[in-house]
Structures are given as structure tokens and as C-alpha cells.
Amino acid sequence: MTKSERAKIVLNILNKTYPKTPIPLDHKDTFTLLVAVLLSAQCTDERVNQVTPKLFKLASTPEQMSSLSENTIYKIIKPCGLGPKKSKAIKELSIIINKKYNNKVPDNFKDLEMLPGVGHKTASVVMSQGFGHPAFAVDTHIHRLAQRWGLTDGKNVKKTEADLKKLFDESLWNKLHLQIIFWGREYCQAKACYGLKCDICKECFPKRIKPFAHKKP
């Protein structure tokens, strides 16, 4: 079976399972989405959604956030983990967006990725879910699933992103990114499926009998 054939199987199952893909992180605009995505690093979306209402009640714009102290931000976001690093990044990017971009989140990869704490994956989520720009945000979870499903042999998320973009039409990227995340959480968890149990793994590799060995990013 070719990669393209497996890609069709993946897309067919995901479209049937998740015809609609709500954005997991609660937000009201591109700035609150940016902050929520930054907080989600090494943290669950559920935990982020528990923390952000209190933070955004205090400050929901770059101007308001830049006026808060790092310590104030830290005390609120501490449950998300990496608190000192994240609070510093939120404070600094808020100042930059307020002063350099007139209180508006930049709508391009170059400027987004120049912001403190914002890497390519975070920028991709904001471009996709915030601005509707075609982007394929590949994190370690999507990297793992793409390997299990035989869609990439990439050793890192950058190569996996490139492979997925070749396999799937640009018009599918924004929705597909979320569909893969939802499937991974519900049916193909890291320490449950092992490439053997979920419907996608079984259809893509019906003869696989040993747990799949991943290439770590």
C-alpha cells in the first residue's frame, strides 16, 4: 500500500468520525488564542481552558496584558506548567504587539515566529485557527500518528509537516490537523494503541503484529 492510499484511508475515517472540528482552546480573538496556544505547550487543553478565564478577565488585549506584572501572570497560569517561562513570554509578546503592531496580532508566519515564546507550531495554529490561513501545525502527537499510519518516515516534526502537506490538499490542512488530534486522543493514544488497535492503524497496516517503533522528534 502506498502513502497516498493510506492517506485516503486516513481521510475517509477521520471525515466520517469528525465531520465538525471545534477549536479545543477557548478564546474570543486572535490574541487570546495566541496566549492559549502558548499556554498549551506541555499542558492539556482542558487545563488551559480552566486557567484562561481568570487571566482574560484581568487582561484580554495586548495593551492590558502588558500592564500586568510577570508575577501576576505567573500566579494565574502556574497550573499550566513552565510558569516562569510562559509568564515572561506572555508579558514580552504583549508589549511588542501593543507597541509594534498597534495592539493587533500579526497575521504572517515571519512576524509571529519573532514573538517571544512563539515557535512554528504555535504560529501555525494561530494562522490556521485565528486567521483561516492554510497551515498544518505538527506537534509531537501528530508526528507520532503520521509515523504509525505510514504517512511519513520523518525523524522530526519539520519533515513530517512537509510530508503531510504533500499528501493532503491545502484546503484540508486546517480541519485535518484538528481531526488527527481528536483521533489520537480518543482512539490512538501513545500508550494504548501502539499502532495495532485503532481502525486507522488496522486498515493501513492489516498485517502489523508488533508494536510500532517510533522515531522520536
| Residues 177 and 99 grouped into a single domain | no
pLDDT of res. 30? 98
| Residues 80 and 155 grouped into a single domain | no
Last residue within a domain, chosen from 98, 130, 162: 130
pLDDT of res. 213? 87
Residue 178 is part of which domain span?
A: 3-21+136-204
* Total domains in the fold of the chain: 2
- Indicate which CATH number applies to the domain containing 114: 1.10.340.30
Contacts of 94 (CB under 8 A, 6+ apart): 59, 62, 63, 65, 66
| Residues 17 and 39 grouped into a single domain | no
Residue spans of alpha helices (H) in the chain: 3-17, 30-39, 45-58, 62-66, 70-77, 83-100, 109-112, 120-125, 140-148, 157-167, 173-186, 199-204
- Indicate which CATH number applies to the domain containing 16: 1.10.1670.10
Instruction: With respect to residue 211, please indicate whether it lies within any of the assigned structural domains.
Output: no
Last residue within a domain, chosen from 86, 108, 130: 130
Q: To the nearest whole percent, how much of the chain has pLDDT over 70?
A: 99
Reply yes or no on whether the pLDDT at 217 is more than 70: no
Give the span between the Cα atoms of 45 and 28, in whole angstroms. 15
Mean pLDDT of the chain: 96
Instruction: With respect to residue 217, please indicate whether it lies within any of the assigned structural domains.
Output: no
Q: To the nearest whole percent, how much of the chain has pLDDT over 90?
A: 95
Q: What is the pLDDT of residues 91-129, one digit of tens each?
A: 999 999 999 999 999 999 999 999 999 999 999 999 999
| Residues 103 and 179 grouped into a single domain | no
pTM: 0.93
